[in-house]
């Protein structure tokens, strides 16, 4: 079963703009993680936010977590063409099991 549901499913922006992706999940989680996947490649871990955290930053990435609404958002500031990829949220359940959403396809046009 899928834990996270991302929206939008696809996002197209101009280079330099900010990109915001949202994720909702269904059950209790230990943490929520965001991953990036370039076409046909493996996943790369971007950032992890624990259930007792509300906001976290890493470079141009900003992640928020609202456990009361069971939702998270990923903001990429000052986007670049190289940010073009699919982005997935994943909630970590018991036993380090990750349950992934369907992902957001981000296209950054130069």
Partner 1 sequence: SQTIHQWPATLVQPVGSPLSLECTVEGTSNPNLYWYRQAAGRGLQLLFYSVGIGQISSEVPQNLSASRPQDRQFILSSKKLLLSDSGFYLCAFTPREETQYFGPGTRLLVL
Residues that bind partner 1 (CB under 8 A): 2, 4, 30-31, 33, 35, 40-45, 48, 88, 90, 92, 95-103
Nearer to partner 1, 91 or 108 (CB): 91
Residue 41 Cβ, how far from partner 1 at the closest point, in Å?
Answer: 7
Distance in angstroms (rounded) separating the CA atoms of residues 29 and 25:
9
E strands present in the chain: 5-7, 10-14, 19-24, 31-37, 43-50, 55-58, 61-66, 71-76, 85-93, 97-100, 104-109
CB of 7 or CB of 15, closer to partner 1: 7
Minimal distance in Å, beta carbon 78 to partner 1? 25
* Cβ contact 31:51 at 8 Å: yes
Quick one: 18 or 38, whose CB is closer to partner 1? 38
CB of 88 to partner 1, least distance (A): 6
In contact, 96 and 1? CB cutoff 8 Å: no
């Amino acid at each position: 079963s899928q834990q996270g549901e991302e929206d939008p499913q696809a996002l197209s922006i101009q280079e330099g703009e900010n990109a915001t992706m949202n994720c909702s999940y269904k059950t209790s989680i230990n943490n929520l993680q965001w991953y990036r996947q370039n076409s046909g490649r493996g996943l790369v871990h971007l950032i992890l936010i624990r259930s007792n955290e509300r906001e976290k930053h890493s470079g141009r990435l900003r992640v928020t977590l609202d456990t009361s609404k069971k939702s998270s958002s990923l903001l990429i500031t000052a986007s670049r063409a190289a940010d073009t990829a699919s982005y997935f949220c994943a909630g970590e359940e018991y036993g380090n099991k990750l349950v992934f959403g369907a992902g957001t396809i981000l296209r950054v046009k130069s």
